[in-house]
Amino acid sequence: MPAAARATRPTLAVFKLASCDGCQLTLLDCEDELLELAGRVEIRHFLEASSAVGSGPYDLALVEGSITTAEDRRRVHEIRAAARHLVTIGACATAGGIQALRNFADVAEYRATVYARPEYIATLATSTPVSAHVPVDFELRGCPIDRGQLLEVITAFLVGRKPDIPDHSVCFACKRRGTVCVTVAHGTPCLGPVTHAGCGAICPAYGRGCYGCFGPSASPNLPALIPLLRRDGMDEPTLGRALRTYNATAFAELAARSGEERPS
Amino acid sequence: MKDVRRDAWVLRDDGLAALVRELARDGRQVIGPTVRDGAIVLAEVDDAAQLPHGWGVELAAGRYRLVRREDAMVFAHSAGPQSWKAYLHPQHVRRWTADRNAGGEWTVRGEDEREADAVPAYAFLGVRPCDLRAIAVQGRVLGGGPGADTAYRRRLDRTFIVAVECTDPGATCFCTSMGSGPAVDVHDRGYDLAMTELLDEGGHRFLIRAGSDAGAELLTRLPVEGAAPLTESAARHVVADAAERMGRSMPPVDLHALMAGSMAAERWDDVASRCLTCGNCTMVCPTCFCTTTEDVTDLTGDHAERWQRWDSCFDLDFSQLHGGPVRASGRSRYRQWLTHKLGTWHDQFGESGCVGCGRCIVWCPVGIDITEEAAALAEETGQPENRGSVQAAESVRHARQEGGGRR
Ligand code: SF4
Ligand code: SF4
Ligand code: SF4
Ligand code: SF4
C-alpha cells in the first residue's frame, strides 16, 4: 500500500448470507493475530464480534454464505457497491454450500416437510454462490475455510499483492506433508486428486479419504477418478453423496461438463 | 592383513544395532526405513529395532500393500512413498526475510546457509541403488552448475550414506533397464558403506564394504569379521538373481530419441484421459526437483519472507505466464513430465532423469505406468530397437563419476 494511505487504516467488513457462521468464526479463531489485525484495519462491520455497525465504503468485504432469499439477493448488490474488494469465504459463498442440495430437489416439498408453518418461510428455489450475482475479487474455498489461508488473503489484500492460494489438488499437500496415500496403500476412496488444496490434506493424515470440502481443483479429471472410487467400495448412492456435500453444485457441474467433453 | 578400505566384511544382524549406535554417537541423525501407517516409510530411527524386520511389500500400479514376510529380512522391500529428497531437498524452506524499519528502509537477509552446519548431519541407512543414483542425479541438478542450491550441497556433503543392495525387487521396479541397480557399482563414489543382506544356511548377516574414508573409519568401530569367499559369492548371487526378477522393464529403444520424436503422438490423448493431473508422480519421484516460491507478508506489511516449496509440472500455475498457463491441458502436462524425465533431461544434464525406482507407478492413484507409456509411444512411432539403453547407461556411468554424486 502506498505510504500516504498508511495513515488511515483500511476498513474491513464481514457479512453473512445463508451459512452456519463457521467461516466468520475462523476469523475470531485467529487469536494470535486478531489484536494485530484490529490495530491494522478498522473493523467496521462484523456482527459476530461486535454489534456496532459502521457504514461503507469498505476497503475489504468478506462475505460468507450463499444466496437463498430474495432479500439476500438484493443485499449482496449493496455489499458489492460498498466494497472496494469483495472476497467470498467458504463453500456456501463460493459454491452454494450444502443448502444447494435444494437445487436438485423440490423446495416447496422440503419446506412443507421441514417446517410446521411453511407459509412463513420465504426462500428461493436455489442456493447460489455470490459470484452468480455480483463480480467477486477472490474466492476462498473450504468448509470451513482454513485459518492460515484467511490471514494470507487478508494480508495480501492489505499490501496489494496476489494471495498465494494454490488451486492444485489435495495430493500435492498430502505428499508434501509425507502422508502415506490412503488410496494406494489402504484402498480407501479419496477425493483428493480432484479436490482443491487448502486444508493441508488433513483427512488422509488421519487415515481417511478426502471428502472434497474445498470443491474441485483447477484441473480435476473426475471421470478418471470415479472408477477408482467404485473399486474401493463406493456404491452409487455413496458416490452420489460423496460428490453432493458442501460443494454439490460445483462437482455436479463438473460431472455434467465431463460427460459431454473429454478432459484434455 | 585385510585392507579395510577395499575388502568386504561380515556384519551379523546384531551388528546393525552397533551401526545405528555408532552413527548416532557421531552426532548424526539416522534416517532409515520403518513401518508407519501401513507402509515402509523413511523416518528417524534411534534403534535398529525400529527397522522393518520381517516386513515386505507387494506392489502394483497404483497399489501398495505392507505384508509380513516369512523370514526376518530387514531390507527386503523396494522403494516406499517418500524418497531421500524429502531430507536433502526439503519441501518447504525459507530463502530470505526482509524487514522495514520505522524510517521505511528495508533490510533483506538471505538464509545463512552455514546454519545448516549447526543441525545434526544425516546418516541415511538403507539407500537402494536406484536411490543412490537418484541422489547423484538430483545432486547434479541442485548441487552444482547454474541451478546450484548451496544449502542442498551442504546437506548432501554432510550426509553419511549406507547403501543396501537389492535382493527383492518389487513388481514395479526396473532399475536394470536404467542401469542403476540392483547392485551398487563399486566405482560409485556416492556412498560411505554398502551392504548386501543375506539370510541362508550361514545365518542372517550383511556383507559390508566401505566406499569412502569415513565409511572405512566407521567399519573399524563395528563388530565385523572377515568375509569368507563363499559369503561374497552368495552376496553376488542374490543380487544377480534380483536382476533377473525385475517387475518391469523399459522398451529397449533410445528413450531420448523416442521422446524427441513423439511430441505429436496420439498416445498423449489416451494417457491424458486417465491422468488425474494430481501431481503424485512428481512428488514421489526421487529426481524431480521443481519448486516455486511463495512470498509471505505479515499484517503490518513490515516483514516479508520468501519461501521455496515443492511444485510440479502438473500444477497449472507452474507454466502460468501473462495471459494463462502454457500447459493448460492434461495432455501437455503429462507430456512435459514424461519427456523431461526420459528425454530433455539428457539435453540439460547429460543423463536420464529416471532411475527406475517405480515410485511413480505405485503411487499414481490410477496406476499410470511410465514403462507402459514409453512402450506405447515406441510402438506408435515405430521407434527402432537399438543399443540405446546401453549407450544411456554408458553416459550415466560417465556422468556419475564427475560432479553430483561425489561427496
Ligand atoms: S491420500 Fe488422497 S489426497 Fe493423499 S495422495 Fe492419496 S489420493 Fe491424494
Ligand atoms: S520417473 Fe518414476 S521410476 Fe523413474 S525415477 Fe522417477 S519415480 Fe522412479
Ligand atoms: S518432470 Fe516436471 S516436476 Fe519433475 S523435474 Fe521435470 S518439470 Fe520438474
Ligand atoms: S500420472 Fe498419475 S500420479 Fe501423475 S499426475 Fe497423472 S494421475 Fe497423478
- pLDDT tens digits along B142-190: 987 767 788 888 899 999 999 999 999 999 999 999 999 999 988 888 9
Give the integer Cα–Cα distance in Å for B25 and B381.
56
Report the pLDDT value the prediction gives residue B394, as an integer from 0 to 100: 45
Tens digit of each residue's pLDDT (9 = 90 or more) over A13-64: 999 999 988 898 898 888 888 888 888 888 888 877 766 666 779 999 999 9
User: How close, in Å, is residue A163 to chain B by CA atoms?
Assistant: 9
Give the integer Cα–Cα distance in Å for B290 and B283.
9
Domains and CATH numbers, chain A: 3-159 (3.40.50.700), 170-260 (no CATH)
CB contact under 8 A, B297 and A179: no
Which of the pair, A246 or A69, is modelled with greater confidence? A69
Nearest to A264 by CA among A223, A226, A215: A223
Report the pLDDT value the prediction gives residue A51, as an integer from 0 to 100: 67
The DSSP output letter for A195 is B
CB neighbours of B323 closer than 8 A, spacing ≥ 6?
none
Q: Is B370 in the pocket of ligand 2 (CB under 6 A)?
A: yes
User: Which of A171, A208, A229 is the best residue to mutate to test the B interface, defined by the most B CB atoms within 10 Å of its own CB?
Assistant: A171
Angle, CA B5 vertex, CA B4 and CA B6 arms, to 5° = 95
Q: What is the mean pLDDT of residues A103-126?
A: 84
Q: Which three cell numbers stand for residue B219?
A: 567399519
Q: Which CA distances in Å does B335 have to A8, A191, B260, B291, B331?
A: 51, 24, 11, 19, 6
Nearest to B343 by CA among B252, B266, B262: B262
Q: B103, exposed or middle or buried, with CB in 10 Å at 0-12, 13-18, 19+?
A: exposed
| Distance from residue B157's CA to the centre of ligand 2 (Å) | 24
Please name which ligand lies nearest the alpha carbon of A192.
Answer: 1
Question: Which ligand 3 atom sits closest to the C-alpha of B312?
Answer: 3
CB pairs under 8 A between A and B: 139
Task: Out of A37, A164, A224, name the one closest to residue B274 (CB).
Answer: A224
A176 touching B, CB under 8 A?
yes
Q: Is the pLDDT of residue A135 over 80?
A: yes
pLDDT band per the 50, 70, 90 thresholds, residue B81: very high
List the single range of A50-64, A222-236, B75-89, B266-280 with lowest mean pLDDT: A50-64
CB contact under 8 A, A155 and B297: yes
The DSSP output letter for B62 is T
B141, B282, B342: residue to mutate for ligand 3 pocket, most atoms within 8 A of CB: B282
Task: Out of A172, A178, A223, name the one closest to residue B82 (CB).
Answer: A178
CB contact under 8 A, B64 and A263: no
Nearest to A30 by CA among A118, A124, A112, A146: A146
Are B33 and B52 in contact by the 8 Å Cβ rule? The answer is: yes
Q: Which chain A residues have a beta carbon less than 8 Å from that of B273?
A: 221, 223-224, 262-263
Q: Which three cell numbers stand for residue A246?
A: 458442501
CB contact under 8 A, B298 and A155: yes
CB contact under 8 A, B81 and A180: yes
Residue A159's H or E segment, with its range, is helix A147-159
Q: What is the average pLDDT value for chain B, to the nearest integer?
A: 91
| Distance from residue A145's CA to the centre of ligand 2 (Å) | 35
User: How close, in Å, is residue A132 to chain B by CA atoms?
Assistant: 23
User: How close, in Å, is residue B275 to chain A by CA atoms?
Assistant: 7
Q: What is the mean pLDDT of residues B9-34?
A: 95
Is the whole-model pTM more than 0.95?
A: no
Report the pLDDT value the prediction gives residue A6, as an integer from 0 to 100: 46
Q: Which chain B residues have a beta carbon less than 8 Å from that of A161?
A: 295, 297
Report the pLDDT value the prediction gives residue A250, as an integer from 0 to 100: 81
A149 touching B, CB under 8 A?
no
Tens digit of each residue's pLDDT (9 = 90 or more) over B280-333: 999 999 999 999 999 998 888 889 999 999 999 999 999 988 889 999 999 999
Residue B68's H or E segment, with its range, is strand B63-68
CB contact under 8 A, A178 and B86: yes
Question: Which ligand 2 atom sits closest to the C-alpha of B357?
Answer: 8
Q: What is the average pLDDT value for chain A, to the nearest integer?
A: 88
List the single range of A41-55, A106-120, B184-198 with lowest mean pLDDT: A41-55
| Distance from residue A178's CA to the centre of ligand 4 (Å) | 17
Q: Which CA distances in Å does B203 have to A206, B8, B20?
A: 40, 17, 21
The type of residue at A68 is T
Report the pLDDT value the prediction gives residue A54, as an integer from 0 to 100: 67
A190 touching B, CB under 8 A?
yes
Alpha carbon nearest to ligand 2 atom 1, residue: B354
CB neighbours of B201 closer than 8 A, spacing ≥ 6?
none
Q: Omega before A223 cis (within 30°)?
A: no
Q: Find the closest chain B residue to A208 by CA distance.
A: B37
Which of the pair, B90 or A33, is modelled with greater confidence? B90
Q: Find the closest chain B residue to A226 by CA distance.
A: B366
CB contact under 8 A, B279 and A179: no
Are B317 and A168 in contact by the 8 Å Cβ rule? The answer is: yes
Q: Which CA distances in Å does A208 have to A175, A194, A200?
A: 15, 16, 14
Q: Which three cell numbers stand for residue B163?
A: 547403501
Alpha carbon nearest to ligand 3 atom 8, residue: B290
Q: Which chain A residues have a beta carbon less than 8 Å from that of B299?
A: 33, 36-37, 40, 151, 154-155, 158
Task: Out of B38, B272, B295, name the one closest to residue A185 (CB).
Answer: B38
Are B282 and B290 in contact by the 8 Å Cβ rule? The answer is: yes
Task: Out of A159, A221, A263, name the one closest to residue B301 (CB).
Answer: A159
pLDDT band per the 50, 70, 90 thresholds, residue A119: confident
Rg (CA), chain B: 22
> What is the ipTM for the molecules in this complex?
0.93
Handedness of CA B238, B244, B248, B254 (dihedral sign): positive
Residue A110's H or E segment, with its range, is helix A107-114
Q: Find the closest chain B residue to A217 by CA distance.
A: B278
Question: Which ligand 4 atom sits closest to the C-alpha of B280?
Answer: 3
Residue ranges of domains in chain B: 9-246, 255-404
Report the pLDDT value the prediction gives residue A4, as an integer from 0 to 100: 45
Give the integer Cα–Cα distance in Å for B223 and A119.
86
Which of the pair, B225 or A98, is modelled with greater confidence? B225
User: How close, in Å, is residue A68 to chain B by CA atoms?
Assistant: 33
Q: Is the pLDDT of residue A141 over 60?
A: yes
Tens digit of each residue's pLDDT (9 = 90 or more) over A167-196: 999 999 999 999 999 999 999 999 999 999
User: How close, in Å, is residue A122 to chain B by CA atoms?
Assistant: 41
Q: Which CA distances in Å does A15 have to A95, B12, B266?
A: 16, 69, 51
pLDDT-above-90 percentage for chain B? 81
The type of residue at A122 is A
Are B403 and B139 in contact by the 8 Å Cβ rule? The answer is: yes
Q: Which residues pair with B107 in a beta bridge?
A: B99
Q: What is the mean pLDDT of residues B86-98?
A: 94
